[in-house]
Homo-oligomer: A and B are copies of this chain.
Amino acid sequence: MHRFNVELGDRGYPIVIGRQLLGDPQQLQPYIHGDQVLIVTNETVAPLYLDTLRKGLRGVGQVDLVELADGEAFKNLDTLNRIFDTLLQRRHNRSTTLVALGGGVVGDMTGFAAACYQRGVNFVQVPTTLLAQVDSSVGGKTGVNHPLGKNMIGAFYQPQLVLADMDTLQTLPERELSAGLAEVIKYGLICDAPFFAWIEAHMEELLRRDTQILAHAVQLCCRAKATVVAEDEREQGRRAILNFGHTFGHAIESVQGYGQWLHGEAVAAGMVMAAELSRLQGYIDAELVARIRTLLQRAGLPQEAPEDMAREDFFTAMAVDKKVVDGRLRLVLLRRLGEAMVVDDTPRERIAEALALCGAG
């Protein structure tokens, strides 16, 4: 079992990574302060892990449940309101704790609901997908989508605990495992060259879901993210490097409609675009771009834009992205393998060229 803290002063919290954590009251209960819990999960995860989680919560007086439809398409204000409805119908008070059992969508929405309910209650992240374990459950970014932009409505709001149980990865659909690997690869690219090489060396075991290997990957990603978040919780500066590939990726998700491409798939294609752009700007060479493409391919991830998406679609979608500051598009590029940087003066023509190299006509 790995255990370490996200250092954010009085908003700091532990991340626990291991096996058989979900049903263990010793893990969860110290972080439940009141006598009420609302579990938020979805229709896919509930049949698999809800009973186990309830065991981990025995002793809590009132445990209620909201079961959401599964998928990014439901990450919106209407679904959020279902969480508020249940909290109020079941009379949850300010000392309640929300427990997010599921992937990134469940975690983002539950965290945002916790941030807003009675102006802020406790919450715990129990991520059950690789993507949520390595990325979205850590760092306190919460929110929902708007038809005009991804994650446009949200809050920075930290959980009390992140409990990443490796056992839950055994039931993950292959496509979602791959989507999670996109974020794993991202951490190698932006801040840890040896880790990137380690992923190259261990891709087969990762795909075979070797628990030890997965736990090592999750741990390195969480530690990397915890360090970045501790330096820059509200993304005033350095934290933006975590968005490597995401500006292009969000454009894909937004134009395709949420839920068509998985977030990790869109990020994978977006990372190739950002890598090509880094090469065009003279920072990295073609060999590294090829290594990135190969690794993504081995992970079962796309390296190209969706077939029906033109360059103009990207520019239109990116114009409303959160990374636009006073009219300038802020992008994350690679300076070299293991080092990312934020730039806001990339010529539009270069971006168009990079998009074209990824099949956006």
A residues adjacent to B (C-beta < 8 A): 34-35, 77, 81, 84-85, 88-89, 91, 93-95, 115-120, 141, 143, 146, 148-149, 151-156, 234-235, 319-320, 322, 324-327
Contacts and interface: CB of A to CB of B under 8 A. Distances in A.
A155 B152 CA distance: 16
Given A94-B325, A325-B95, A88 B34 contact: no
A7 to B, nearest CB: 19
A35 B152 contact: no
A96 to B, nearest CB: 10
Copies of this chain assembled into the complex: 2
Nearest to A320: B91
A77 B88 contact: no
Contacts of A116: 116, 143, 153-155
A360 B318 CA distance: 57
Given A77-B77, A89-B148, A148-B89, A322 B84 contact: no
Given A88-B320, A93-B326, A326-B34, A152 B77 contact: no
A95 B77 CA distance: 23
A154 B119 contact: yes
6 contacts: A77-B81, A93-B324, A117-B152, A119-B143, A119-B155, A120-B156
A152 B326 CA distance: 34
A146 B77 contact: no
Main secondary structure of the interface of A (DSSP, over half): mixed
A90 to B, nearest CB: 10
Given A88-B146, A146-B88, A234 B120 contact: yes
A117 B320 contact: no
Give 3 nearest A-B pairs by CB, closest first: A88-B148, A93-B324, A118-B322
A93 B149 contact: no
B84 A146 contact: yes
A156 B326 contact: no
Nearest to A91: B320
Contact of A325 (B93, B119, B120): B93
A119 B91 CA distance: 27
Given A88-B149, A116-B153, 10 more contacts: A84-B152, A88-B146, A88-B148, A88-B152, A93-B324, A116-B116, A116-B154, A118-B322, A119-B234, A155-B155
A312 to B, nearest CB: 16
A152 B90 CA distance: 13
Contact of A117 (B35, B88, B89, B153): B153
A223 to B, nearest CB: 24
Contact of A115 (B148, B155, B319): B155
Nearest to A115: B155
Nearest to A141: B119
A34 to B, nearest CB: 6
